[in-house]
Structure 1
Amino acid sequence: MSTDTSKDGGPLAPRQRERRALSYSLVCSIVLAVSALVVGVVTGIRIIVFDGAYMAIGLILSWASLQAARAAAAGPTRRFPFGRDALAPLMVVIQGLALAGTLVLAFGDALVVIRDGGSDMNVVIVSSYGFITGMTGFVIAWWLRKTAQGSDLVAAEIAQWKAGSVLSVIMVAGAVVVAVLALTPLREVARFADPFLVIIACVVLAAVPVRLVRGGVNELLEGAPPPKLAASIATVIESVRSDFDLPDPIVRAGKVGQKIYVEVDFVVPPDAWSVSEEDRVRRAIIDRLLPLEFEVWAYVAVTSDESLAY
């Protein structure tokens, strides 16, 4: 758990940590995207241009994610009585689709370069650039994970930074290959290294947008929460059931952004429970879910009418 503190010395809430992480990610994206595009355009090296374009799109999405986090943190309004937490998975889906579009365009451009006879690559520039951006990306991804665990928006940012770092590693490896080829009779093959690096990067990164879109759509369609979270919810409910000597419940759970919805129905004999006792069960479930660091919306019913539990 993060130990970050607020201005008054208390611990930062999950939503505050989320916005802080997204803000820092945005600043880092601006610096690296501008640097990459300048280096790529000046040198004419496509793999660096691709990396710069990738980070530029990430920059726009980081800004949009930050706005989505702020809107979700504003809480319920008259127009949105359940809040706007659905903006988080929506932004995750948009990030996935934008990344997929970037990969498709870069893949197509690489094929055109190969058809036209390849292009030259400056080994020193590519290897230096790849090493610096790769190390930077891994450090930022580590810091984001440490700062705001449990945030889907930050998890999407981490996926983008890790993907960028993998791309940088591919750059360095490609530069080494080109340097070796330059010392052999296959030196002409080195002209195709740049577009082939782009193609390899697109293939390696292809799983990232798929994962982002799949996870975001699952939340938008009110699917089951991730297995680890679902197991934690099940453990809490089982402990409460045991403490109050209740029968096995009917449980429905879902997650949208930083909010979890839990509906628990216990079917008991008629006239066996009072409203105050039902409130105690509900309070116990809510209190034991709070350490998961999500906003909890829990509906707990102790009913003797089994038809109301379905």
Structure 2
Amino acid sequence: MPAPAEPGVLPTERHSLTLSLVATFAVGGLGLTWGIISGSRVMVFDGIYTLAGIVLTWVSMLAARAAASAPSTEFPFGRNAAIPLAVTVQGAALLGTAGYGAVDAVISISEGGSATSALQVMLYGLVCAAASLVVMLLLRGPARRSDLARAELVSWRAGVLLSALFALGGGIAVLMASNGMTAVAGYVDPVLVIVASAVVIPMSLGLVRDGVRELLEAAPTAALSAAIDEAVRAGTAAGLPADRTLPPPIVRATKLGRRVYVEVDFVVQQDSWTVSEEDDVRRSITAHLDGLGYRVWANVEITTDAHLAAD
């Protein structure tokens, strides 16, 4: 059964992406400017990593708009795939940025380290950690209802961890320099970049994995699958007359952005069900699936041919 016409971009999603865009420009601009002036590789890396988020957030906003558009002749099922595609692109871009930073840091170490002021690195880390934490907390609510907001939340969570590492590493370098270990302190800046890259890479891989799984129409998460099974069970029970029963159904489902596709097949005996009775069961199951909080495209079939149900 087709889903209803798509509404516009979710207000909370649009506000979340706008907030992330503005915050990204502010924090990224600060990091890049401060890093160039101080000569700090780690600040420049963080600034570029953050400013790259402007393009990625813009891509997310385009994806949200595309996914919200109504089905058309050219796209009869809508364009919900734009959301996991944007999530995958965001993860891949963050992965590339982390890889570049790690290579640059290795080059810096091979050249004898960096002469960056450790105090400036520490102060920069504290300022950015506080700013990133505020944005992350503001995105927590919307991230529960939007994959795009969740991708932004992952980026800002990484920002909090990175900035905290910068502050900690800068503080350690300050202590080293004050105790006459200036040469060793010079390696703190590139080492921090390598550590930061190691923090970003698992998060980035997680985004790529989740996006690709949806694009390949993998089964939903265990929690969503359990919710679908329960909705089908409850909907079946509610749609049956008191004197009728149905065998356990074959349920298949996949999630694509905000859309969940569900197919429910029952195999019954020949001439045991009418079309109107099938419609009653279909309406009941669909009504229960609509309570999942997604745009559900449900197909409920009662058939006498087990081969049709297995296809």
TM-score, scaled to structure 1: 0.92
CA distance in structure 1 between the aligned counterparts of 2:120 and 2:180, rounded to whole angstroms: 23
Percent of pairs with identical residues: 42
Match of 1:122 among 105, 117, 135: 117
1:154-233 equivalences in 2 (<5 Å): 154-233=149-228
Please give the secondary structure, in 1, of the residue aligned with 2:251.
strand
Match of 1:92 among 76, 87, 90: 87
Match of 2:78 among 67, 83, 105: 83
CA distance in structure 1 between the aligned counterparts of 2:144 and 2:70, rounded to whole angstroms: 20
CA distance in structure 1 between the aligned counterparts of 2:299 and 2:15, rounded to whole angstroms: 31
Residue pair 2:66, 2:79 contacting (<8 A) in 1 also:
yes
User: How far off is 1:135 after superposition?
Assistant: 2.1
CA distance in structure 1 between the aligned counterparts of 2:235 and 2:246, rounded to whole angstroms: 8
Which residue of the partner structure matches residue 64 of structure 1?
Answer: 59
Please give the secondary structure, in 2, of the residue aligned with 1:75.
coil
User: How far off is 1:212 after superposition?
Assistant: 0.9
Question: Do residues 30 (structure 1) and 48 (structure 2) align?
Answer: no
Residues 1:253 and 1:74: Cα distance change in structure 2 (over 3 Å):
same
Which residue of the partner structure matches residue 3 of structure 2?
Answer: none
Q: Any idea what the Cα deviations from partners look like across 1:212-268, whole Å, max 9, x if unmatched?
A: 111111011100011111111111112223443321101110000000000000112
User: How far off is 1:184 after superposition?
Assistant: 2.4
Residues 1:288 and 1:211: Cα distance change in structure 2 (over 3 Å):
same
Which residue of the partner structure matches residue 100 of structure 2?
Answer: 105
CA distance in structure 2 between the aligned counterparts of 1:133 and 1:292, rounded to whole angstroms: 37
Structure 1 unaligned blocks of 5 or more: 1-11
Which residue of the partner structure matches residue 40 of structure 1?
Answer: 35
User: How far off is 1:276 after superposition?
Assistant: 2.2
CA distance in structure 1 between the aligned counterparts of 2:81 and 2:267, rounded to whole angstroms: 32
User: How many corresponding residue pairs?
Assistant: 299
CA distance in structure 1 between the aligned counterparts of 2:308 and 2:177, rounded to whole angstroms: 75
CA distance in structure 1 between the aligned counterparts of 2:190 and 2:111, rounded to whole angstroms: 11
TM superposition outliers: structure 1 runs of 4+ over 3 Å: none
Which residue of the partner structure matches residue 309 of structure 2?
Answer: 309
Which residue of the partner structure matches residue 268 of structure 1?
Answer: 268
User: How far off is 1:148 after superposition?
Assistant: 4.3
CA distance in structure 2 between the aligned counterparts of 1:164 and 1:58, rounded to whole angstroms: 11
| Aligned CA-pair RMSD | 1.7
CA distance in structure 1 between the aligned counterparts of 2:132 and 2:16, rounded to whole angstroms: 14
Q: Any idea what the Cα deviations from partners look like across 1:46-88, whole Å, max 9, x if unmatched?
A: 1111111001111100001101100110121221111111011
CA distance in structure 1 between the aligned counterparts of 2:140 and 2:285, rounded to whole angstroms: 28
Matched residue type, 1:63: W
Matched residue type, 1:99: L
Residue pair 1:163, 1:208 contacting (<8 A) in 2 also:
yes
Residues 1:212 and 1:148: Cα distance change in structure 2 (over 3 Å):
closer
Q: Any idea what the Cα deviations from partners look like across 1:92-140, whole Å, max 9, x if unmatched?
A: 1111111111111111110111111111232332222212211222221
Please give the secondary structure, in 1, of the residue aligned with 2:187.
helix
Question: Do residues 136 (structure 1) and 131 (structure 2) align?
Answer: yes
Structure 2 unaligned blocks of 5 or more: 1-6
Which residue of the partner structure matches residue 300 of structure 1?
Answer: 300
Matched residue type, 1:40: G
Residues 1:172 and 1:295: Cα distance change in structure 2 (over 3 Å):
same
Query: Which deviates the most, 66-75 or 31-40?
Result: 31-40
Residue pair 2:87, 2:148 contacting (<8 A) in 1 also:
yes
CA distance in structure 2 between the aligned counterparts of 1:140 and 1:289, rounded to whole angstroms: 33
CA distance in structure 2 between the aligned counterparts of 1:145 and 1:283, rounded to whole angstroms: 35
Residue pair 2:143, 2:153 contacting (<8 A) in 1 also:
no
